[in-house]
Amino acid sequence: MSISLAKGVWCSLQGNITRWTRSSSKDAFKKFRGRSFCIAKEEMLLVYEYVQSKSLDTFTFGDSINERINWEQRYKIIQGVARGLLYLHEDSTVRIIHRDLKASNILLDEISDFGVARLLARDHTESKTTRVVGTFGYMAPEYAIQGNVSTKADVFSFGVLVLEIVSGRSNISFYDPTNVENLLSYAWQCWKSSTVTKLIDPSISENCPIHEVLRCIHIGLLCVQEYPVNRPQMSSVF
């Protein structure tokens, strides 16, 4: 079996181990036990099963049009990520908030990088932190600015991811000649001007069920609303 090795600081290593072992899902626990870890002097390693399909960003933002995945594959990935987040938020023994959901952390077929995840008791949905971690461009505003950690912060990141998958464009490196600030601003502009089809990746625009794509765009926009209270829970997304 091929494996990949990743170096990391102790807190990240410990975080990954803790989050997997505290999961109530037998399948998730077995998945963790299929990996190994090593602590030797200053060297700390987590051993993951090699994921041959690479990460989502490779097939969504790749320069070659031939590397990009079709709509059917994109839709299945959106559904899979939604199911994964739903498990973390509502089906685990402890509530897990990922805090760094992004295309490069979607290893086909699993969600990776739990080193910065936050654990909450089942009866809690939010907390506060002075250590904001994650990736700008995916962070919810209340988390990036005030350190408010909640399931709705993950929902915001999911919304960004959905809009990236539909458009084939990264929110982080977004550029538009009309000087729109970022992908989210562009998506809202298209929605409000009833030109939302402009948002769709040209490589899939002619071979996709438009109603399905528009539904995903709508879901993405609902998820990236400014105020957490207006965003849906993952249980109502799909």
Question: How many Cβ atoms sit within 10 Å of the Cβ of residue 136?
Answer: 9
The DSSP string of the chain is: --EEEEE--HHHHHHHHHHHHT---HHHHHHHHTSEEEEETTEEEEEEE--TT-BHHHHHS-S-GGGS--HHHHHHHHHHHHHHHHIIIIISSSEEE-S---GGGEETTEE---TT-EEE-TT--EEE-S---S-TTTS-HHHHHH-EEEHHHHHHHHHHHHHHHHHT--SSS---TT---SHHHHHHHHHHTT-GGGGS-TTTTTSS-HHHHHHHHHHHHHHT-SSGGGSPPGGGT-
Active-site annotation holds for 109: no
Annotated active-site residue in 100, 113, 154, 201: 100
Nearest to 159 by CA among 150, 143, 142, 171: 171
Active-site residues, by number, are: 100
